[in-house]
Structure 1
Amino acid sequence: MSDVALPPAYKVSSPDDSTVTVGNVDKSLPKYNVPSTFSIGNAVTEPLVGLREIKGHLIILGAFAELKKKVESVDTSNALYSPVNEDQKWAWFVGLAVERFDVWCRALTRDTEKDVKPVVLPPLDVIMVWHSYMLNPRWYAEDCMRIDACKNLKSMEPAFCELLLDPSPILSEAPSKSRLDNWKYLTGLGFNLLDEMANMKTKSILCPMCNTALDVDYINKEGTGYLQQKFSAVCVKDGCSFGEINKEKLALGKLARDLAMKTSDAPGDHLPGTFFTASSADVKKGQKIKKILHWEIVHASNKTPAEANYTYGSHDLYLAIMSFSKYSLSPMREQMGLPYQPRLVSRIMSAYNDEKIYSVELVGAVLRQGSFVNKMHGLGWTKSGFFDEPGDELVLQHGLARYHAFLDLMSSSPVSFFVPTLDIDLIWHTHQLQPEKYEKDGKQYLAKFIDHDDKVEGIRLSSAFDITCRAWKERFNVTYTHCGCPVPGDTIGKRLSRMIGMYSQPTTTPHSHLFPITRLDVLAATHPSDHNTVRFIAKNKREHKVALRKYESLKKKKEKEHKLQSVKNESSDIPTANRRDEKAISDDSVDGESKFRNYAAHDMIPFLVPVPMFYFGGELPSGEACVATGGLAGFIAGGGAEVVAGVIVVEGDVAEAEDVEEDAEGVEKKLGVFSLVQDCMKLLIN
């Protein structure tokens, strides 16, 4: 490929070149000058995340991956109503792990953290849930302000930070006696969930109306267990008229309690979703929602406030709120002001999935993170000692440089929604696992709390990734992704043609430390991090039609852009040498080797527009590609989620088609980027 100008060579800090083997391909490490400081906006900083913490995080992810393998190999054939499918077993295990986390979290005290840190660490399954909780940083930080039990959880953060520096306590086959005793003292549960799964058959819930304790199955043959999609129970207390109890009504009870609380300045009296937002006025708006709803309930009763006895904090007001909403969350959305403040109300309502105190639906959070864990494990990065050699550390140094550039990109367009690649997301996650530092760094360098949205609709994610690619190229003059992912409908030759100018001499000086290291795992790690993708299923025919319009609108736009780009490419002169390579790549072979060999188990699924689901549990249209968070095979789904065609879907409101490109268009104008959409997934020319 002599006609194509390649990026400049790197300079290495060590005198010797190192060689690594990735998959079946040997690569010499490029020479790379590791930056000691990074620019974020107008500020310059030393690395915000340390290599030791990143390595420790990868070891922890490896432990999660090994735990999943053990769960999938468990023989459940003799257990009553137990799942036998691997995905089902893992979902069952995660559901039980969340229950154990809940018991542990609510048992913590401020004195717990004062003990020796390895002693206070819970079992690995509970650590896994806590890990996923922290990767929803805004909700986690807010819960730690509002909820007493979570305040105690926050006091445990130093123990997790120590774990990042030294993950050996969770790698030991046998936990110490003091650690076992501490867990037993706090929870009364067995330490190893693998040994406890068969014994965890029921849990206790409270009737939302009369607070009677009810024992319900986790799973049963009817599919109405607490961890199953059609969960249903009935209060057994004589005279209780509440009727069927399901996840929605449990969530309604939680919401009604929060709405009935007094309206003071204490964080615990504020509604979730009103802190750390773009507007400081959201806290006051949340309080206003409570006051207006209180007035409406009193007015509807045809009584004076004194006669109605609907005082803040009273059980009567709590019951009146549920009755006023007709025991359903949908009317409550309207009553809270969805038509005139949809973003705020939708954000508040997203915190209500079940009866648990947390604003994050933790089962879904862990399952979504599983996709990211699988990708890190597939790259080989979670293996102990994988990055011990100084030369191999360059891989993490490169990801660290890209993460700081990602923060700089966010600082350049504060209202934007940018999508990270796998390598950037790894560093981002590691930063979030140090919550105090993460919040402080965000406020210092970006003047705001940086959220990491754990659950994003696929159409919005795809559009945002297009924008991220263009914004990155515009700001740094370096291509954002180099993983070689195919775009559906394109031949390999077309992708190569569009790439010819990718490595031409830039008109402005590019950021050399952002050029990719030519190791296959590094290139694969620039795949978009899509673990947080979910499919929102329409609740009725109207919303399904809206979702289809959104999909068709974005699909037509993509097709038009590709057509215009193809015309542009066909009119350009491609050097003869490049045409030979184009043919070789089109034949899927260069020097006898496949150019599309699995990049260390790299996910080659196209990252494109997801197809909207049919309403009422329908199916996906055949022949279309979707980005999924992993399958559950329709056995267990938490927090109102449903499983269709192996994809986690969440019931929710669907925006109008005109809103699809709102964020994308706004960012384009702010950045001044008016060029045609380039391929997000570029095939690296060797």
Structure 2
Amino acid sequence: MASHLADILHASSQDTTTHLQKTLTKSKSKCATSAKEEPQIPDPKLFTSLQPSSNHPNIGQCATHLALLEAFFHLRLNILKSSELDTVFNVQKVNKTIYKSKWRHSKRQPVKLRDPNWDEKRNIKWLLFLSIAVARFQVWAIKVNAEGIVTGTGQGMELYQLPPIDILMVWHAFLLNPLSFKKYCKDLQLVKLRRVLFPWPRIHKAINPRLSTFNYDLPIGASTWFRTTLNLKPDLFDTLKKASKLPVDSPLAKSLSNLAFCATQTTIEPTSPDSAPAIESLTIAEMASTPLFDSNLSLLTLLRTIPDFSSPSPLVSNVQRQSLFVDKMHRQLWIRSPSAHGTLSRAIDRYERFIKLFSLYPKTMLVPTLDIDLVWHTHQLSAEQYETYMRERTGRYINHDDTIQKNTLGNGMDRTANIWRVEFGEDYEGCRCWDCEVLKDELERDEEDVEKLVERVKSTVEYYRVVEIARRKGWEFLPLRE
């Protein structure tokens, strides 16, 4: 079989280009001459059904979830790489200069060394971005529940205005902690929000799958609602980038810099009056009920709701833990796989059997494989519907605990694999790379000629890899398959 996608994508730029050119020449492929002529990867048929046809996820919802996770992945990447946010949050390089003797030179020459802590320093931007996003989410949650953009009755309530991606990301991670989200909604009386079905159809329309970055574009109506109701700018990342152009002594620039100062201190006590954050405590409930006028003033007011960094915010921690899952899904890249439909179909079938084990083994900790976990996550995103389904199928509300330590998970995985083998007579884990998944598709078709089957698998996977590499390298149009 050909090497896995990751092997190619992690190769050097020169090696990748060489492989791409050789493969294109070998397969006699040609590139499309327009976007309409390009191969549609992922296949639009994946998203045919996005509305819930039953109380468990379908292929369209799982596929949209994969696309959303890609959007989250690239948002975090852009934040970490942003030089504008380096300025806003006062993240500075410290390049040490040393003097070395060079051949044929009697004098020592200055050599600048890269700041060894640069990557670690830049990680603070993600924490700060999430802290602001959490504050925005909390205001949004109260407003959404009160402002009438949730319609319907019972468990079928619909959110007809999407939130910005930072709020969607916080909400998404919160929903994957079902018991915590239920308590939060109960404490704040957010009855409507908890009954909302996750807005898969609207999310699908907001994400551009043709781009390698899966851009999330908030619809105009949703953007307008957000501006007028919360008086905040919808695009937090863009707002923070623009703040880098403000005078350093402007109120917003100073508040953002002070927020970064607090986050980087081992103790939150300011060392001098000049370095003290110029923001006062304000509760989320107070802000949600406060009439706001200027958008920069609104962000300043919002910053006052952010607690100190002496202990991690649970909602920030939720997103940080989910980033690990996002990274895993990005590495698998099932959304671009030639076997996306087959992979998701098998995952849903395996998830249903996984749920059956909860009723058969009520006192056993069961650990999902990556494909089952994707479907499980997709299911939990419609909170009240998920709880009803679990109580009907297992007799209890199954929490999803993503704080369990790795060694405990390892033991649980071994135990789950043994139970699976006993109950269903097949291996539990297995490889789910593109090659293996396409091979499963072909074997399900019961092809008798093994040589033809293998060649078809190799050809299909190779073509999809070539298309993905071309997409990531920014080719104007994608290669066609003969």
Question: How big is the shift at 1:61?
Answer: 1.0
Aligned pair 1:51/2:59, yes or no? yes
Query: Given that residues 178 and 380 in structure 2 are in contact (C-alpha distance below 8 angstroms), is that contact kept between their aligned partners in structure 1?
Result: yes
Question: How big is the shift at 1:95?
Answer: 2.3
User: CA 1:470–1:53 in structure 2 vs 1: closer, same or farther (change >3 Å)?
Assistant: same
Aligned pair 1:139/2:87, yes or no? no
Query: Given that residues 169 and 175 in structure 1 are in contact (C-alpha distance below 8 angstroms), is that contact kept between their aligned partners in structure 2?
Result: yes
User: CA 1:423–1:219 in structure 2 vs 1: closer, same or farther (change >3 Å)?
Assistant: farther
Give 1:519's aligned residue.
Answer: 435
Question: How big is the shift at 1:109?
Answer: 3.6
Query: Given that residues 131 and 433 in structure 1 are in contact (C-alpha distance below 8 angstroms), is that contact kept between their aligned partners in structure 2?
Result: yes
User: CA 1:415–1:169 in structure 2 vs 1: closer, same or farther (change >3 Å)?
Assistant: same
Question: How big is the shift at 1:426?
Answer: 0.2
Give 2:352's aligned residue.
Answer: 404
Give 1:154's aligned residue.
Answer: 194
Aligned pair 1:168/2:205, yes or no? yes
Query: Given that residues 145 and 191 in structure 2 are in contact (C-alpha distance below 8 angstroms), is that contact kept between their aligned partners in structure 1?
Result: no
Give 1:362's aligned residue.
Answer: 315
Question: How big is the shift at 1:473?
Answer: 2.0
1: distance between equivalents of 2:233 and 2:240?
Answer: 10
1: distance between equivalents of 2:181 and 2:438?
Answer: 31
Secondary structure of the equivalent of 1:417?
A: coil
Query: Given that residues 206 and 216 in structure 2 are in contact (C-alpha distance below 8 angstroms), is that contact kept between their aligned partners in structure 1?
Result: no
Give 2:411's aligned residue.
Answer: 463
Give 1:128's aligned residue.
Answer: 169
Query: Given that residues 88 and 241 in structure 2 are in contact (C-alpha distance below 8 angstroms), is that contact kept between their aligned partners in structure 1?
Result: yes
Alignment of 1:597-616 (within 5 A): none
The superposition leaves residues 466-512 of structure 1 with CA deviations (integer Å, 9 ceiling, x where unpaired) of 222222222222222124xxxxxxxxxxxxxxxxxxxxxxxxxxxxx
TM-score normalized by the length of structure 1: 0.41
1: distance between equivalents of 2:313 and 2:366?
Answer: 22
Give 2:226's aligned residue.
Answer: 183
Question: Which structure: larger Rg?
Answer: 1
What stretches of structure 1 move > 4 A for 4+ residues in a row?
19-22, 114-119, 170-174, 198-201, 216-221, 353-356
The superposition leaves residues 417-463 of structure 1 with CA deviations (integer Å, 9 ceiling, x where unpaired) of 11111101000000001112211110000000010002112332222
Alignment of 1:247-266 (within 5 A): none
Question: How big is the shift at 1:200?
Answer: 7.5
Query: Given that residues 419 and 461 in structure 1 are in contact (C-alpha distance below 8 angstroms), is that contact kept between their aligned partners in structure 2?
Result: yes
1: distance between equivalents of 2:216 and 2:374?
Answer: 26
The superposition leaves residues 538-584 of structure 1 with CA deviations (integer Å, 9 ceiling, x where unpaired) of xxxxxxxxxxxxxxxxxxxxxxxxxxxxxxxxxxxxxxxxxxxxxxx
Give 2:332's aligned residue.
Answer: 379
1: distance between equivalents of 2:409 and 2:171?
Answer: 25
Query: Given that residues 185 and 193 in structure 2 are in contact (C-alpha distance below 8 angstroms), is that contact kept between their aligned partners in structure 1?
Result: yes
1: distance between equivalents of 2:308 and 2:130?
Answer: 17
User: CA 1:194–1:472 in structure 2 vs 1: closer, same or farther (change >3 Å)?
Assistant: same
Question: How big is the shift at 1:401?
Answer: 1.6
Alignment of 1:448-459 (within 5 A): 448-459=396-407
2: distance between equivalents of 1:60 and 1:80?
Answer: 27
User: CA 1:181–1:397 in structure 2 vs 1: closer, same or farther (change >3 Å)?
Assistant: same
Give 1:11's aligned residue.
Answer: none
Secondary structure of the equivalent of 2:333?
A: coil
2: distance between equivalents of 1:437 and 1:21?
Answer: 41
Pick aligned residue for 2:386 from 438, 459, 473: 438
Give 1:477's aligned residue.
Answer: 425
1: distance between equivalents of 2:217 and 2:340?
Answer: 31
Higher relative contact order (CA 8 A, sep 6+): 2
Query: Given that residues 150 and 160 in structure 2 are in contact (C-alpha distance below 8 angstroms), is that contact kept between their aligned partners in structure 1?
Result: no
Pick aligned residue for 2:133 from 79, 97, 105: 97
Query: Given that residues 224 and 230 in structure 1 are in contact (C-alpha distance below 8 angstroms), is that contact kept between their aligned partners in structure 2?
Result: no
User: CA 1:187–1:416 in structure 2 vs 1: closer, same or farther (change >3 Å)?
Assistant: same
The superposition leaves residues 150-181 of structure 1 with CA deviations (integer Å, 9 ceiling, x where unpaired) of 335325x23xx332575212547754433222
Query: Given that residues 133 and 360 in structure 1 are in contact (C-alpha distance below 8 angstroms), is that contact kept between their aligned partners in structure 2?
Result: no
Secondary structure of the equivalent of 2:83?
A: coil
Considering fraction of residues, name the structure with more helix: 2
Query: Given that residues 57 and 164 in structure 1 are in contact (C-alpha distance below 8 angstroms), is that contact kept between their aligned partners in structure 2?
Result: no
2: distance between equivalents of 1:522 and 1:88?
Answer: 40
Query: Given that residues 118 and 169 in structure 1 are in contact (C-alpha distance below 8 angstroms), is that contact kept between their aligned partners in structure 2?
Result: no
Amino acid at match of 1:519: D
User: CA 1:381–1:233 in structure 2 vs 1: closer, same or farther (change >3 Å)?
Assistant: same
Give 2:90's aligned residue.
Answer: 81
Alignment of 1:197-596 (within 5 A): 197=240, 220=258, 225=262, 227-228=263-264, 230=266, 232-233=268-269, 361-383=314-336, 386=337, 392-483=340-431, 519-520=435-436
User: CA 1:181–1:455 in structure 2 vs 1: closer, same or farther (change >3 Å)?
Assistant: same
Amino acid at match of 2:200: L
Secondary structure of the equivalent of 1:78?
A: helix
User: CA 1:522–1:80 in structure 2 vs 1: closer, same or farther (change >3 Å)?
Assistant: same
User: CA 1:78–1:440 in structure 2 vs 1: closer, same or farther (change >3 Å)?
Assistant: closer
Amino acid at match of 2:80: E
Query: Given that residues 119 and 178 in structure 1 are in contact (C-alpha distance below 8 angstroms), is that contact kept between their aligned partners in structure 2?
Result: no
Amino acid at match of 2:205: S
Question: How big is the shift at 1:397?
Answer: 1.2
Amino acid at match of 1:97: A
Question: How big is the shift at 1:196?
Answer: 2.0
What percent identity do the matched residue pairs reach?
26
Query: Given that residues 55 and 386 in structure 2 are in contact (C-alpha distance below 8 angstroms), is that contact kept between their aligned partners in structure 1?
Result: no
User: CA 1:164–1:407 in structure 2 vs 1: closer, same or farther (change >3 Å)?
Assistant: farther
Query: Given that residues 112 and 120 in structure 1 are in contact (C-alpha distance below 8 angstroms), is that contact kept between their aligned partners in structure 2?
Result: no
User: CA 1:517–1:79 in structure 2 vs 1: closer, same or farther (change >3 Å)?
Assistant: closer
Query: Given that residues 57 and 430 in structure 1 are in contact (C-alpha distance below 8 angstroms), is that contact kept between their aligned partners in structure 2?
Result: yes
Give 2:77's aligned residue.
Answer: 69
Give 2:15's aligned residue.
Answer: none
Give 1:545's aligned residue.
Answer: none
The superposition leaves residues 564-609 of structure 1 with CA deviations (integer Å, 9 ceiling, x where unpaired) of xxxxxxxxxxxxxxxxxxxxxxxxxxxxx9xxxxxx9xxxxxxxxx
Give 1:107's aligned residue.
Answer: 143
Secondary structure of the equivalent of 1:60?
A: helix
The superposition leaves residues 614-651 of structure 1 with CA deviations (integer Å, 9 ceiling, x where unpaired) of xxxxxxxxxxxxxxxxxxxxxxxxxxxxxxxxxxxxxx
